Amino acid sequence: MRGERETQGMSAGVRSVLWGLLWLWQAVGALRLRHHGYEDMVRTLFKVQRECPFITRVYSIGRSVQNRHLYVLEISDNPGIHEPLEPEVKYVANMHGNEVLGRELLLALAQLLCEQHKLRDPRITSLLQGVRIHLLPSMNPDGYQLAAEQGYGKYLGGRGNARGVDLNRNFPDLHLIPLQADSRGGRNHHLPLADNWTEQVEPETLAVINWMKSYNFVLSANLHGGAVLANYPFDKASEPRARGSRRHPPSPTPDDKLFRQLAKVYSYAHGWMHQGSTCGEYFPDGITNGAQWYPISRGMQDFNYLHTNCLEITLELSCAKFPPARELPREWAANQEALLTYLEQVHRGIKGMILDENGNGIDEAVISVDGINHDMTSGLSGDYFRLLLPGQYTVTVSAKGYKSKTANVIVYPQEVTRVDFQLVPGIQALPTANLTEIPGNPQPSPQGLYPIPHRSRPQGL
C-alpha cells in the first residue's frame, strides 16, 4: 500500500511537470521551427488566421510567374481596417528565393503574435493596438521552390524569380529623376513613375509596388541572408569609387541619421549582429550604408524611400543563405526581440491629423521638415506619420487650395508627439523643405536654433 501511495504521489508530480511542459509547448507556440515549402507556408498562414481570427487576415497581393499567390498575413486589433493615426508597417522576406531564414522568422513571428495575444501579453496587446502589421513571408515563392529542390550546400539557384530575374534589381530606378532635377533644387520624395512602369517589372515586383500604393506604409524591413548586418539606403552609389580604394563612399539619404538609428535598433536587439564581425567581414555596430557595402541599382529600399512614405532597411540575417533546420531555433532566439523592437520604432517622431475648417481629413497634404529634404504626405483619412529623432523641428504642412501652416515641435525619445494641423482655404505657399537641401537631420543647438542652411547638392542621388 505504501508503495502504491508513493507511486500515486509521484505520478501526480510527474503529471504536473507534464502539464507544465504542455503549457510551455502551447505558449511558445507550437513554434515548430522547420523549413516550410509553399503549401506548408500557406497552410501555416491560414492556421494562424483560424487560431486568431479577430486579429488576423490573410490576403494575396498578386501572383508569381508560376502562378503562386503572394500571401500576406495582416495582424492588428482591427484587421482589414486602417484606423486613423495607427501606422501601417510591413516585413518582406524571401525576395531572393534562396535566402530563406526571413521566411521562417516571419512565420514564427506570426505564430508568436497570435499565441501571446491569446495569453494577453501586455507588450503584444499594446503593439497590436497601436500598429497594423503586414507580413509577406515570401516575395519569391518560385525561386524558393527551386532552391529547396537542390538540397543543402548548393542553393545558388533560386535567387531570381522563375525567369531568373533578381527582384532586388527590378524596381523602377527613380534616382534618374533627381539626378536631372537636383541642380534645380529638385525633390527626392514621391517621385513619379514612368507611364509604362508596369511593363518594366516582373509580376512579383508589380504586386509589391501595387501593395505599397494601396497602404500608407510608414516603416518596413526586407529580410535577406548571406551576411549578418542591417543595411540602410541608399543602395545606389552617388559617386564612383575612388581610385585605389576598396570601399565605395556612402550614399546617404536626407534621413541618414534616422536610418542609422533604425539599423542600430535592429542590430543591438539582435543576438550578435551588433558585434559586426560575422561571416568574415567587419561592419561597425553591424550596420552599413547600402552603397558603401556594395552599390546596386533598382533595389527595393531605395524605391520605398523615393516613391512612398515608407522607410525601409534591408536585414541580412545569416551567413548561410539556406541554413539547416537545426539552426532555426537559435536564429529565432537571436531575432525575436529585434523583430518586435524594430516594429515599435514606428512610434517615434510626430504624427497627427490634417483637417480642413470643417474637421474633415485632407489627404495628400505635404508634411515638410526644415533641414530634411524629404517630405511625407497624409493618408486617405488625413493622418500623417513623420519618423524623427529626438530634437526640435520646424514643420510645415501644405495642401492644394489651402494656406500652409508651420509649427515648431519637440520630439522626445521613446514616444511620438501628436501634432494636428487645421488648414483654411487660401493660396498655398511654397513648401520650405524644398528650399533647404541639407542631407541628414538638423542639429539643435542648446538655444534651440539650427545651423543656417547652405545650398548644396544633395548627396546620394
Residues that bind Zn ion (CB under 5 A): 96, 99, 224
Q: Point out which residues pair with 69 in neighbouring strands.
A: 63
Report the residue number, 155 or 259, with the smaller CB distance to Zn ion.
155
Report the residue number, 301 or 368, with the smaller CB distance to Zn ion.
301
**Least distance CB 224 / Zn ion (angstroms):** 3
**Cα distance between residue 20 and residue 26, in whole Å:** 10
Cα-Cα-Cα-Cα dihedral of 39, 25, 107, 90, to 10°?
Answer: 150
Residue bearing cell 503549457: 23
Q: If 0-12 CB within 10 Å is exposed, 13-18 middle and 19+ buried, where does residue 381 land?
A: middle
**Least distance CB 146 / Zn ion (angstroms):** 15
Phi, psi of 308 (to 5 degrees): -130, -175
Phi, psi of 458 (to 5 degrees): -60, 140
Report the residue number, 139 or 395, with the smaller CB distance to Zn ion.
139
**Least distance CB 204 / Zn ion (angstroms):** 14
Q: Which of 79, 76, 72, 74 is nearest to 41 (CA)?
A: 72
User: What 3-state DSSP class applies to 64?
Assistant: coil
Report the residue number, 224 or 347, with the smaller CB distance to Zn ion.
224
Report the residue number, 100 or 388, with the smaller CB distance to Zn ion.
100
Report the residue number, 148 or 372, with the smaller CB distance to Zn ion.
148
**Cα distance between residue 342 and residue 127, in whole Å:** 11
C-alpha cell at 274: 551588433
Closest residue to Zn ion: CB criterion = 224
CA angle 315, 318, 322 (to 5 degrees): 115
Report the residue number, 165 or 409, with the smaller CB distance to Zn ion.
165
Residues 6+ apart with CB under 8 A from 135: 72, 73, 74, 75, 90, 91, 106, 109, 110
Annotated catalytic, 316? yes
**Least distance CB 223 / Zn ion (angstroms):** 9
**Least distance CB 96 / Zn ion (angstroms):** 4
User: What 3-state DSSP class applies to 350?
Assistant: strand
Q: Which of 124, 135, 302, 154 is nearest to 215 (CA)?
A: 135
**Least distance CB 81 / Zn ion (angstroms):** 33
Active-site pick, 86, 99, 316, 344: 316
Residues 6+ apart with CB under 8 A from 434: 185, 187, 368, 373, 375
Classify residue 362 by its DSSP letter. Answer: -
Q: Point out which residues pair with 425 in neighbouring strands.
A: 402
**Least distance CB 103 / Zn ion (angstroms):** 12
**Cα distance between residue 13 and residue 19, in whole Å:** 10
Report the residue number, 136 or 433, with the smaller CB distance to Zn ion.
136
Can you say whether the dihedral through the CA atoms of 279, 283, 289, 294 is positive or negative?
A: negative
Report the residue number, 186 or 226, with the smaller CB distance to Zn ion.
226
Residue bearing cell 519569391: 140
**Least distance CB 240 / Zn ion (angstroms):** 24
**Least distance CB 164 / Zn ion (angstroms):** 15
**Cα distance between residue 168 and residue 174, in whole Å:** 14
Residue bearing cell 504586386: 207
In Å, how far are 130, 172, 176, 376, 394 from 191, measured between CA atoms?
29, 11, 10, 12, 23
Catalytic residues: 316
